[in-house]
A = this chain, B = another copy of it.
Amino acid sequence: MKKILLATSILAATTGFAAAEVAVSGNGRMGVVYDGNDVQFSARARVQFDLSAESDSGLSFGASFRADNAAGAAGNTNMGAGTIWVSGAFGKLAMGDVVSAGEAALGDLSGVGYTGLGDYSDIPYINGDDGNDFDGTGALYSYSAGAIGFHVGLTDGSDDNPATVDADASYSIGVAYDTDAYSVALAYLSGTPGNDTAEEIILGGSGSFGAAKVKAYYADFSNMAIEKSFGLSVDYGMDATTLTAFARRDDFGAAGDMDTFGLGVAYDLGGGAKVKAGVVDSDYNADTVADLGITMSF
């Protein structure tokens, strides 16, 4: 027998009920990817759990993780996937596989293609970045006051051995100023997995110019092979169609530059479905890659 979950707004209207909830949503994508040599099918589907509730005194709390990451979220020591949080007048404190304060303040450039084509539009943050460099359970504290958002990220050190004292933990501080027309963000990150002396300073912002939205960043690194990174993305919307372009350069000093360019188009079919196509030319890839497919959200 099949069961169906209703959209929150419908249920609230139907029942007037608001309390502890387990929200279940999903997404997927299917299509073809040209990997530089031939064409491959590429598809996936995911379910997401969002738990939330409120204490008697009005403290909000919750957790979010994907079904395919359930084991990582349930880990007894390190929460290696998903996040859990409490939120109130003091701000919001999240633990788990949180992003850095830099990513919380600035986010990423706009990507292209239905698969992301390698996600080179992700801005490089030296810690807390998408769990790729998981470094012990992290914590992220965020506080907003008007247009200002303030973020502090911290890991507990890379060592969970209870018999020793941890080496230095990585941390990050970020601040963002957001208005309807534009936003700017500045962040400092210290420490990357395996290198406690690594540092990053990053400045970025976005602005809307008519139908175009532009986002850009400039990052300076210390004590790392990479010395500088900067990039820009433009989204241009025309009714249901959005054109996206991005460019990024990673400067490795004497070792040279690594450049990436991406171009994409998305057409919104409504109901959660979009047709997307993209092409990416990157010095990180041997060949230019491209894809065409449909993305879905449920």
Contacts and interface: CB of A to CB of B under 8 A. Distances in A.
Given A55-B270, A73-B45, A271-B56, A3 B23 contact: yes
A37 B164 CA distance: 6
Contacts of A289: 162
Contacts of A71: 68
Contact of A74 (B23, B37, B68): B68
A41 B269 contact: no
Interface residues of A, number: 99
Interface string A259-271: 0000000000111
Nearest to A79: B43
Interface stretch (A100-108, A133-141, A212-220): A133-141
A42 B74 CA distance: 11
Contacts of A53: 271-273, 296-298
Contacts of A26: 22, 49, 51, 63
A49 to B, nearest CB: 5
Interface stretch (A27-35, A123-131, A187-195): A27-35
Nearest to A23: B2
A39 B269 CA distance: 50
Nearest to A93: B30
Nearest to A50: B2
Question: Counting chain B CB atoms within 10 Å of each CB, which of A3, A25, A82, A166 scores highest?
Answer: A3
A166 B64 CA distance: 39
A283 interface: no
Interface stretch (A12-20, A172-180, A229-237): A12-20
A249 interface: no
B68 A20 contact: no
Contacts of A61: 273, 294, 296
A3 B29 contact: no
Contact of A67 (B5, B6, B70): B70
Contact of A41 (B3, B44, B139): B139
Given A3-B21, A5-B4, A44 B75 contact: yes
A95 interface: yes
Interface string A75-86: 111110011111
A123 to B, nearest CB: 20
Question: Counting chain B CB atoms within 10 Å of each CB, which of A36, A93, A155, A298 scores highest?
Answer: A298
A57 interface: yes
B42 A77 contact: yes
A36 B165 CA distance: 9
Given A1-B298, A45-B51, 4 more contacts: A4-B22, A30-B86, A40-B166, A44-B79
14 contacts: A2-B23, A10-B15, A11-B15, A22-B26, A43-B96, A44-B75, A44-B84, A45-B84, A45-B96, A56-B269, A57-B269, A61-B294, A68-B73, A70-B70
